[in-house]
Amino acid sequence: MRVLLWLLVLVALIDITAFGLTDLDEGFYASVAWEMEQQGDWWTPRFRHEPWFEKPPLLYWLMMFSMRLFGEGEFALRLPSVLLFGLTLILIVAWGERRLGVGVGALAGLLFALAPLSLLLTRLALTDMALCCWLTLALIALWEARERPLPWSLLGGVALGLAILTKGPVGLGLIGLHYLLNARALHAQGLRLRWVLFALIAAVATAVPWYLGVYVQHGRAFFEEFVLRQNLMRFAGGDTAHSVLPLIQRGGAGNIAAGIAIYLLFYGVVLWLGALPMSLWAGALWHRELEEPPVAGYLRRWAWLVFGLFTVSFTKLPAYIFPMLPAFALLVAFSLTARREPRPPGTFRHSLFATRYLPFALGGLALAIWTLLGMVVAQLSGVWQAGLLGIGLSMVALWLASGQHWAVPLWLGILTLLLGLNGALRGYDRLMLAPVRELAQAVPPYRTLILYRVHPGYPSLQFYRRGRTATVDNLNALLQQMESQGAYCLTTDDTLTTHPRLLLLEHRRAAGRTFYLLVARYR
């Protein structure tokens, strides 16, 4: 089983170039890292030559270093996520074997690695895999500091500092709240407050130099954008692109009911679909096994803290609850190993239907959704391998549900799943990403590409073009810049194709829309 885990890392390294950069977030991170590398500025993140304080710089630093080694391409940008995925697997396997029993860690690593959310985030140049890795290490260190305080407190503090450098104060908030929830039990088992403070000092020493330096350099602009807008206001629903508040604020019974339903149920659906096949055994999150070790309760509280905190938040993105998946995988692996039964723990212990059949029914529905999604992508894009996505997940789920004795070997299910994932990603690229990317790359790098009425804004084009990209909302300003600067225009507005001052060069279909590339006519 451990060999299969490392093969998953190897496969991720191979297929991270199977599809182009996605927008918006991955496009922003890639373009910011590229621009920092071009300017030789490792201190201030910039996008289109302006300071960009949406995220701290650690991911940008890793991507910049990777680009220096492997060139400017998707492989270099996504390599840090794959390597941190491998490190997270090592942590899960090693700690699970040590604290929960032989075989538990390897099974937990497998469950974590094959969850659709993990399979996707491993292959994207986003902050989520890095944050999950550092928080998992900090979580382990907090527990282990009871017995070996100095090395684990230092390691946990550095990991917490790296989490703060990856995604901001959220890492400190999560670990801080988790410590408060477990403080009595941890101190009763030997943890001393001085080592907690030592870890906090190590975290501050790791993270604060960048925060202090960038604040000295940019002052109020950094504080207002990063601290207020990107953290406090985003948690409170200020990020309108991902918030449920605008839907509720529209008024009307339907909008209010839909907004409340999304607010309360969003992460339940994300966990149900994104954590397969272990979401069939979601009862491990609340059902205590007989004679379970204290660490199980510690993991359970972590999982519920992450899930509950982001459920309370008005801003919703699927990857926000990703840091709970290592703990979830360890709990499910321990439950399966302890029970040695092919059925998952039920939601209601006194109902035979709920105990034995309801989780399978819900899991079957989730697998059917993934199978249907893969088939739709296969049909639309012509990449037939995408249809194997749900089938591979189903084969792995059957292997687990049979008590790991199903006739079809596990490696065949994993191979089918990976082929389906690779096909789905290539199909998605063909349908949604490649046409826009190819139009932008047709523009000479010494010319400005102006995006006009293009949603989303496709920040990845800044990276792919290696040239200047801008956005304009006013038609007169667009025409003026195109005529005075020789700029090109990328738009979805078909009325511009017949404009007397513009010439249509090329058009492509993507994301259900037609994109046009235009240039000003010579007078």
pTM, two decimal places: 0.93
Inside any domain, residue 65: no
- C-alpha distance from residue 93 to each of 98, 178, 184 (Å): 9, 22, 27
Q: State pLDDT tens for residues 375-427.
A: 999 999 999 999 999 999 999 998 888 877 777 789 999 999 999 999 999 99
Shared domain for 447 and 335, answered yes or no, is: no
Residues 327 and 471 in one domain: no
DSSP 8-state assignment for residue 522: P
The answer to whether position 359 is within a domain reads no
Token representation of residue 491: 């738009």
User: Is residue 355 pLDDT above 90, yes or no?
Assistant: no
Within a domain: 36: no
Residue 484, domain extent: 442-520
Residue ending a domain, among 281, 308, 340, is 340
Q: How confident is the model at residue 238 (pLDDT cuts 50, 70, 90)?
A: low
Say if residue 315 is in the same domain as residue 446. Answer: no
Query: Are 118 and 265 members of one domain?
Result: yes
First to last CA, the chain: 69
Q: What is the pLDDT of residue 92?
A: 97
At 418-460, the pLDDT tens digits run: 999 999 999 999 999 999 999 999 999 899 999 999 988 899 9
CA–CA separation, 208 and 327 (whole Å):
28
- Name every residue whose Cβ is closer than 8 Å to that of residue 174 and which is 6 or more positions away in sequence: 135, 305, 306, 309, 323
**Does residue 427 fall inside a structural domain?**
no
Instruction: State whether 154 and 273 are in the same domain.
Output: yes
Amino acid 261 reads A
- If asked whether residues 102 and 245 sit together in one domain, one would say yes
Tell which of 300, 318, 340 closes a domain: 340
Last residue of a domain, one of 340, 368, 389: 340
Query: What is the domain-level CATH number for residue 513?
Result: 3.40.190.10
Query: 303: pLDDT confidence band, cut at 50, 70 and 90?
Result: very high
Specify whether the CB–CB gap between 82 and 9 falls below 8 A: yes
From the centroid of its chain, how far is CA 47? 21
pLDDT confidence bin for 357, thresholds 50/70/90: low
According to the model, what pLDDT value does residue 340 have?
Answer: 59
User: Please, how many CA atoms are within 13 Å of residue 6, restricted to the half-sphere of its CB?
Assistant: 3
> For the chain, what percent of residues have pLDDT higher than 90?
73
CA neighbor of 160 nearest in space, from 137, 193, 194, 183:
137
Per-residue model confidence (pLDDT) at position 341: 45
Query: Considering the domain boundaries, does residue 14 fall inside one?
Result: no
Counting the structural domains of the chain, the total is 2
CB distance 121 to 26 below 8 Å: no
pLDDT value at residue 126: 96
In terms of DSSP H, where are the helices of 382-520?
389-401, 410-428, 434-441, 460-465, 475-485
Alpha-helical (H) ranges within 168-317 are: 170-188, 193-218, 220-222, 234-235, 245-249, 253-274, 294-312
Distances (CA, A) of 84 to 90, 97, 136: 10, 20, 11
- Evaluate whether residue 25 is within a structural domain: no
Under DSSP, the state recorded for 283 is: G
228 contact partners, CB below 8 Å, separation of at least 6: none
Cα distance between residue 333 and residue 277, in whole Å:
11
For residue 142, being part of any structural domain is answered with: yes
